Chain A
């Protein structure tokens, strides 16, 4: 009789300790989950707050008098005169007129530096679009320089030393005068989405990189989707069980785990050096990415095809369809949602891939939006990498903005994949 109670006592004496250990363990497990979630939150908040600043850009309003003699004296100048007019001179003249008390050449130069060097191109673009305005006075918002932009957004304190501010006290005075007169404001930054790379942060945009990414992804899909689906069909429906088949399977599984940079080395050695395809071109980028994406598509495709019950294929065969007809007419359409899901996820990963593109030279400084898949181009993630290395403060917020654009596309694709899977999921 005494024995069991003694045992009970020894059990219950340890119980409190064991329950404490249980609580501790549970807390550690929860903490692990929270660590990942907190990191994710901090990352998103950091990128969002930093990137949001790049949505706006400081602009200066100038009332510019477009005199006819700026364009060779005629009211209807020809296109060459329009293109070659001295727009920088026109802007300088206007700026100096607004500040008549600025006399010395040095001060004048400092004054003009408040306006971005790209302002002349903006004015040129405006005049080319509206040649009828020549001879009249126009009011136009032109991009302010990066240093002004940083002050306006509060990234650099107005009271900081002029070294840190990169603007002299005199320039600050002009800036504040423009501001109080309502001629200096932050406006929506169209440049960010319409132009290519630039050495000046206020003129840099992601358009060229976006088009480069788009071209690469299209090339990647055109190659990897049909090949991937065909390989999955073959391995799952037709392949004889022999050594060669299992060799292919081992190959595919290993390729899925090869570091992406190795694919870049392959592209460099084979596509660029052996086949002498153009460097920095989205065509080669897409080809390299397709080799990386294909294993993902094949693996996802096989799972989707496995999910179609054999009775469907057997029924098709029984009414006289050939094996190929049974698979292409009945199995493949039913497996398509799964195949597409895998394809989208693989493509989203390819979109975010940077390292292999560095290997084949898609790190070029690309100002113009590429017009074909053979033009030198860069891609969105590569643009992020390039901007993150720039010393100017203005590039920091643009890097975050480029990241936001990239994350938006990647997120959208993954979301589509999830929705697709939910919508077309069939339970047999």
Chain B
């Protein structure tokens, strides 16, 4: 009665196949953009850094204790040879990050514990998204707040107890960064804590421990790898953070561990070196790329370690 058109039936799949192959290639190409980006980042950083290390020895950069990236305009200028030792910048970065993490790690973890273990579901559904707002605020806003509110407050507070606090202290920048990363730590800790099977907690409670004892002795130890991973990720975030330190931290490199002093960071120096008009092949601008490479390596190492810790030490409860 109805004869299927043989020819047509064959033709459709063929054009379809051809088209599908093209689509598949396009999809693959889109996925490769991520790889291209990584390659682009690594290649451009390494390429510019090699040019920099031709002028300034690698060891001077990595082990040098002095950072003052001026280059001579004239040959005979005083102090014409700039110093490109990255250690003071690294110490400054680590100092500010340490201040930030001493705030965000305990506060973030305790917030996660409160929301997960103590708060009623209704309270949790209100507080959790509100806390997440902290992570959504652009960092330039935090920087402005650090300069206008936090730094003067710390300065006044310091004066009243006889301490001289620099107006661009590591404490102000670190404090604000710590607050910024609270939701970061707390949401990862929350995930880790809720992954601990409730039977463990119930067993502890059933044996007569109080809630806080169950949390401290059973839940947190079981969730520790996840929590540690979260803190490492927060550390990588804090080290790479730029605007808060550009606005609230200092510009001059100083080798100190006193959080009341003004220090500068890797990211601050990259911004100062590259904003404004400079010729592109001077060691001054090239050094920014070497700093970028340093920053990329450190954050990458932290991220990879964090993911490894989470994967390797995750307790299996199935």
- Chain B residues positioned under 8 Å from A354 (CB to CB): 138-140, 242-243
CB distance from B257 to the nearest CB of A (A): 23
Q: Is the CB of B243 within 8 A of A385?
A: yes
Mostly, the B contact residues are helix
Judge whether A414 is part of the interface by a CB distance below 8 angstroms. Answer: yes
Q: Identify which of B27, B111, B243, B247 contacts A36 (C-beta below 8 A).
A: B111
- Segment at the interface with A among B16-24, B69-77, B165-173, B192-200: B16-24
Interface residues of B in 200-241 (CB under 8 A from A): 208, 210-213, 215-216, 233, 236-237, 239-241
CB distance from A15 to the nearest CB of B (A): 9
The answer for the CA separation of A262 and B147 in the assembled complex, in Å, is 24
Task: Fill in one digit per residue for A19-47: 1 if any B CB lies within 8 Å of its CB, else 0.
Answer: 10110011011111101110110110011
Q: Is the CB of B131 within 8 A of A238?
A: no
Q: Identify which of A37, A257, A399 contacts B233 (C-beta below 8 A).
A: A257
Determine the residue in chain B with the shortest Cβ distance to A229. Answer: B30
The answer for the CA separation of A379 and B118 in the assembled complex, in Å, is 43
- Chain A residues positioned under 8 Å from B147 (CB to CB): 388
Mostly, the A contact residues are helix
**Chain B count of residues within 8 A CB distance of the other chain:** 88
Interface centre among B114, B117, B130, B267 (most CB of A within 10 A): B114
Given contacts A28-B110, A32-B110, A36-B183, A261 and B275 within 8 Å (CB-CB): no
Given contacts A262-B240, A266-B41, A355-B267, A40 and B130 within 8 Å (CB-CB): yes
The answer for the CA separation of A47 and B142 in the assembled complex, in Å, is 11
- Chain B residues positioned under 8 Å from A252 (CB to CB): 34
- Chain A residues positioned under 8 Å from B208 (CB to CB): 11
The answer for the CA separation of A227 and B35 in the assembled complex, in Å, is 13
Given contacts A324-B20, A359-B274, A36 and B148 within 8 Å (CB-CB): no
- Chain B residues positioned under 8 Å from A234 (CB to CB): 24, 27-28, 30-31
Q: Is the CB of A43 within 8 A of B137?
A: yes
Interface residues of A in 6-21 (CB under 8 A from B): 11, 18-19, 21
**Chain A count of residues within 8 A CB distance of the other chain:** 86
Q: Identify which of A46, A263, A352 contacts B140 (C-beta below 8 A).
A: A352
The answer for the CA separation of A348 and B140 in the assembled complex, in Å, is 14
CB distance from B184 to the nearest CB of A (A): 11
Interface residues of A in 334-382 (CB under 8 A from B): 348-349, 351-355, 358-359, 361, 363, 381-382
Given contacts A35-B107, A270-B40, A384-B144, A25 and B212 within 8 Å (CB-CB): yes
Q: Is the CB of A323 within 8 A of B111?
A: no
Judge whether A406 is part of the interface by a CB distance below 8 angstroms. Answer: yes
Q: Is the CB of B16 within 8 A of A322?
A: yes
Q: Is the CB of B247 within 8 A of A388?
A: yes
Judge whether A268 is part of the interface by a CB distance below 8 angstroms. Answer: yes
- Chain B residues positioned under 8 Å from A262 (CB to CB): 41, 45, 240, 292, 295-296
Interface residues of B in 270-317 (CB under 8 A from A): 270-271, 274-275, 280, 288-289, 292, 295-296, 299-300, 303-304, 307
Interface centre among A36, A323, A358 (most CB of B within 10 A): A36
Determine the residue in chain B with the shortest Cβ distance to A35. Answer: B107
Judge whether A410 is part of the interface by a CB distance below 8 angstroms. Answer: yes
Interface centre among A18, A252, A354 (most CB of B within 10 A): A354
Judge whether A269 is part of the interface by a CB distance below 8 angstroms. Answer: yes
Q: Identify which of A238, A247, A273, A399 contacts B280 (C-beta below 8 A).
A: A273
CB distance from A408 to the nearest CB of B (A): 12
Q: Is the CB of B106 within 8 A of A231?
A: no
Q: Is the CB of A259 within 8 A of B114?
A: no
CB distance from B169 to the nearest CB of A (A): 18
- Chain B residues positioned under 8 Å from A348 (CB to CB): 136
- Chain A residues positioned under 8 Å from B32 (CB to CB): 248
Q: Is the CB of A381 within 8 A of B271?
A: no
- Chain A residues positioned under 8 Å from B111 (CB to CB): 29, 32-33, 36
- Chain A residues positioned under 8 Å from B106 (CB to CB): 32
Judge whether B33 is part of the interface by a CB distance below 8 angstroms. Answer: yes
Determine the residue in chain A with the shortest Cβ distance to B271. Answer: A358
Q: Is the CB of A410 within 8 A of B38?
A: no
Given contacts A29-B118, A358-B271, A260 and B240 within 8 Å (CB-CB): yes
The answer for the CA separation of A380 and B202 in the assembled complex, in Å, is 51
Judge whether B156 is part of the interface by a CB distance below 8 angstroms. Answer: no
The answer for the CA separation of A418 and B125 in the assembled complex, in Å, is 13
- Chain B residues positioned under 8 Å from A406 (CB to CB): 138, 140-141
The answer for the CA separation of A418 and B136 in the assembled complex, in Å, is 13
Q: Identify which of B20, B31, B139, B216 contacts A230 (C-beta below 8 A).
A: B31
Task: Fill in one digit per residue for A197-229: 1 if any B CB lies within 8 Å of its CB, else 0.
Answer: 000000000000000000000000000001110
Q: Is the CB of B35 within 8 A of A248?
A: yes
Q: Is the CB of A33 within 8 A of B127?
A: yes
Interface residues of A in 227-255 (CB under 8 A from B): 227-228, 230-231, 233-235, 238-239, 247-248, 251-255
- Chain B residues positioned under 8 Å from A228 (CB to CB): 30
Q: Identify which of A21, A255, A403 contacts B144 (C-beta below 8 A).
A: A403
19 contacts between A and B (CB under 8 A): A21-B213, A31-B110, A33-B115, A35-B182, A36-B131, A37-B131, A43-B137, A233-B27, A261-B271, A265-B41, A322-B20, A324-B23, A353-B138, A355-B139, A358-B271, A359-B270, A385-B140, A403-B140, A406-B140
Q: Could you list which residues of chain A lie within 8 angstroms of chain B, going by C-beta atoms?
A: 11, 18-19, 21-22, 25-26, 28-33, 35-37, 39-40, 42-43, 46-47, 50, 226-228, 230-231, 233-235, 238-239, 247-248, 251-255, 257-263, 265-266, 268-270, 273, 291, 294-295, 298, 322-324, 348-349, 351-355, 358-359, 361, 363, 381-382, 384-385, 388, 396, 399-400, 403, 406-407, 410-411, 414, 418
